[in-house]
Amino acid sequence: MHQRTKIAVAVALALNSIAAFAQQADAPQRVEITGSRIRAVDTETAQPILKISQAQIQAAGLITVGDILNQMTSAGGDPAFSKGSSLSSNRETGGQYADMRNLGSQRLLVLVNGKRWTQSVDGFTDMSTIPTSMIDRLEVLKDGASAIYGSDAIAGVINVILKKSMEGGNLSIYAGKNEKGDGQAKDFSLTYGAGNDKASLMFGLTHSLTDPVWAKEREITRFSKGPDHHKSGLGTSPWGRIRPVNPDGSVNTDGFNHILNHTGSYDGVGVGADSRNPANYHPYTGAEQDAFNSASQMMYIMPNKLTSIFTKGTIQLPMDMRFTTTAMYAKRDSSRQVAGYPLSSGTQATYPVYLDKDSYFNPYGNQVAGAGKGQDLFFYRRTVDVPRVSENSNQTLHIDATLEGELNLRGLPWNWSVGYNHSAINGTNVNTGNLNLPNLKKAVGPSFRNPAGVIQCGTAASPIPLAECTPFDIVGGPSAATPAALNYVMSTGQATYGSTVNSATADLSGELFTLPAGALGVAGGIERREVRGYDRLGQFEQSGLSTDLAGLSTSGGYTVKEAYLEANIPLLKGVPFAELLSVDFASRYSDYSNFGTTTNNKASFMWKPVKDMLVRGTIAEGFRAPTVGDTFGGGSQSYDDYADPCDSKDGDAASSPATAARCAAAGVPATYRQLNQAGQPVGSGGGQSTVPFMSGAGNADLKPETALTRTLGFVYNPSFVPGLTIGLDWFYIKISNRINAVESTYTANQCYVSGVQSFCDKIKRDPVSGMITSLSHGNANMGQLSTEGADLALSYRLPKNAYGQFNLRSESTYVASFKEKSTDDADWIGYAGEFANNRLKSSLSLDWSLGNWAATFTTRYYSALRGHCFSATVECSNPGAKASWGTNYNKVKATTYSDLNVSYKTSWKGQIMVGANNLFNKKPVINYDAGSGVDSGPSSSSSVDPNLPIDRFFYARYNQSF
């Protein structure tokens, strides 16, 4: 405190000469509205802003800010790192990330009280770390604002406004669950505040927990392609499949292809026959009993646990100064589980592992066939015995301190502030269920039965001590695996990661002079920001000697120096056809150490032709700087889900001569079928790659994205209908030089459907079968992205009557166009009306209150979508019709959900709240684009969108003030 006082006195002395000329004058409170740094009395803005109150947050029946924001009609339909993406290995998995207009969470800036919040190494802000109990309101700017706030503010800005002060405390307890009984959610928060005009302090503690939802628990999610096509989604069997090995180490496709006899089916439950007996095998044909339903071991919704501590303090200082500081620490623990590893001899091309001809368990080995007659075997076997589990522990620390004050210059009000912002994320990731390939190679290498009857590694002449190696009956299946063997061949992977953002800011705003139409307001400031981050895999994981797939570490950072200036100029006021006319100009200059400089400008206007009508519009330049991960990402191998356009039955080549010709030119046979890991043809939804692809590599030559945003709209408050407000805003956003993490399906489509050679250079195919054997995709400045549409907002507060107070609220977003092109010379591809890009989303809420009672009824509408067909002839409502992926699409019908919240305030300062989301229990539908097989949809386990309700959800909350 002594140090803070010294700082305050120093600043006061520096401003003393200016303050000597200041004159005290009573004036209405001037506030800063999101989208402008100029404080003003009038809160009407030239930018469309959606405000969500604390009461609306609680009435939503949700416990994280991210979930609440993702229900906005302007929010994207597929937020980053979906809670259903259990196959995702990103460090952000388990958090909540908001999206705006499907432009990506990384293109949306998140502020807390006007200050940047924490970001991951890839530039994502976890909204779940912001405690909802401390929020006063959310302000969502549906406009570009790089000229005001800098990088990332392309799609919009979310500003979380915290409570300024509290007197007393509040305890809130919440519990909810799906009607089926799973997906339980619990939330506890305790907040307390005290103070007076001189000093105040607030404290908050929150703890929330959500339980998993397992795919196997519902018929519609039990299989990755739905219950009607369960065989299509099956993968590698847990029962050993064997084939001969060519001299070069590749699988001999002309030889036998046998799988072990066993009981049970695709559920992995059963007993395998004696794997040493060659007679105990049958020809492998891909029958469903010889495959495995990986969804049976996968989470549909991943669990999450979050604990946060938050404090905020303000102290009044001399000379109209204030010192404010906030501090937040949050710890998030999340986990994900997917099916056991689909192991094969060729899992790692640089380190193949075969069932050795001298292995005791080799049915074609020397110990069975006779000395000198044995052969190595290529094997396939999913290790369902040990599902893959990843535990992610993430800690977030945010501290900011601001010294601010007011003064008068020539009788005009001014505000100044200097501040420092520190945000840091660090975490650990521990995973199990992968295999240690060197140990596996020993375990399936030479082995023998020793005199004690124990199977031992090595040979009788050169045994390996039992403590150093445990033989593994790899083809015997789960019933033959011993705990000792599994412990020997399995590995534990780990990684550490973190990112830090430090920034220092200085801002000044006020009124230069008064014009006939009002005061000319200005704001300006400077900022220096330092960003650094890392993501370090363990040495063993980097080596490529694990089925955890090889990867390289990410490490790097950059600094940026910025300055901005904004001016609001009132032109007319109180004249015919111009009750108000003003313009606002802003410009921001940024100097980045990693790519250079950029300047971004913004112009907006407000015009009131009459008192009831406000017309507004903006035109703004925006940018997004490459993140640490974009630039310095190490990249890693991954088994990608993809759909090959060259598939002769369900790919675009089946109906497009141009695509077929490009595939043929690449050496793809005319009868080619894409095969899954079980060796069976996939449907149009694609399947997982049979070999690892390379993804996520950084690019040091990346340049920032640039954007152009235009908006035009009006707000109408008719005086003859008190309480009615109508707002309509048109928007257009175009992003150029796009930084994109390219998907496998996108890479293949750009090559064969669109004919872009630069993408073809990243693909290699087997010269005989035509299967893709190598595909690399990383980050690139790649083409353009644009969207256009309109937001409609309606609000009507009805006159109060004997039945209570009623209020209608409605928000709608119509997307006229959402399109992209892979390069500046490529053709535009439209996605509006396809998965996650609903043409129309709308919500309508009816609020009611009477005495201590209150209720909110909300309906949410999602328009119909075009999706991938299961095949050209099955579940294909529009065969031959054009879509972004080529031809053939299936129409997924429009959906409406209804939510109800009812509350009662007690006489002892309590509030009881109960509710149900998806009140009428709207059932989920199959949408193949929601699965991970098509452009990495949000669900890893099924073809059901995890961002929509799976069930009716009941909840209750109790609030107690004291």
**pLDDT per residue as tens digits for the range 866-909:** 999 998 889 999 999 999 988 999 999 999 999 999 999 999 99
Mean pLDDT in the chain? Answer: 90
Task: Return the residue matching tokens 């809130």.
Answer: 172
State both tokens at 606: 């407000």
- Encode pLDDT of 83-93 as tens digits: 888 888 778 88
In angstroms, the first-to-last Cα distance of the chain is 29
Is the separation of the CB atoms in 674 and 681 below 8 Å? Answer: yes
Task: Return the residue matching tokens 């901005």.
Answer: 564
Is the separation of the CB atoms in 647 and 655 below 8 Å? Answer: no
Mean pLDDT for the stretch of residues 145-169 = 91
State both tokens at 360: 């005791």
Q: What pLDDT, on a 0 to 100 scale, did the predictor assign at position 678? A: 63
> What whole-number percentage of the chain has pLDDT above 70?
95
- Encode pLDDT of 784-819 as tens digits: 999 999 999 999 999 999 999 999 999 999 999 999
pLDDT at 938 over 60: yes
Mean pLDDT for the stretch of residues 928-942 = 84
- pTM, to two decimals: 0.86
Q: Could you tell me the pLDDT band of residue 42, with boundaries at 50, 70 and 90?
A: low
Q: DSSP assignment, residue 458?
A: B
Query: What is the per-residue DSSP string for 151-167?
Result: TTTTSEEEEEEEPS--S
Cα 385 from Cα 477, distance rounded (Å)? 9
Cα 178 from Cα 404, distance rounded (Å)? 48
Residue 555 burial (CB < 10 Å; 0-12/13-18/19+)? middle
Residue 226: CB atoms within 10 A of its CB come to 24
- Encode pLDDT of 623-647 as tens digits: 999 999 888 877 777 778 889 999 9
Rounded to the nearest angstrom, the gap between the alpha carbon of residue 324 and the centroid of all alpha carbons in its chain is 32
pLDDT at 169 over 70: yes
pLDDT at 259 over 80: yes
Cα 808 from Cα 787, distance rounded (Å)? 29
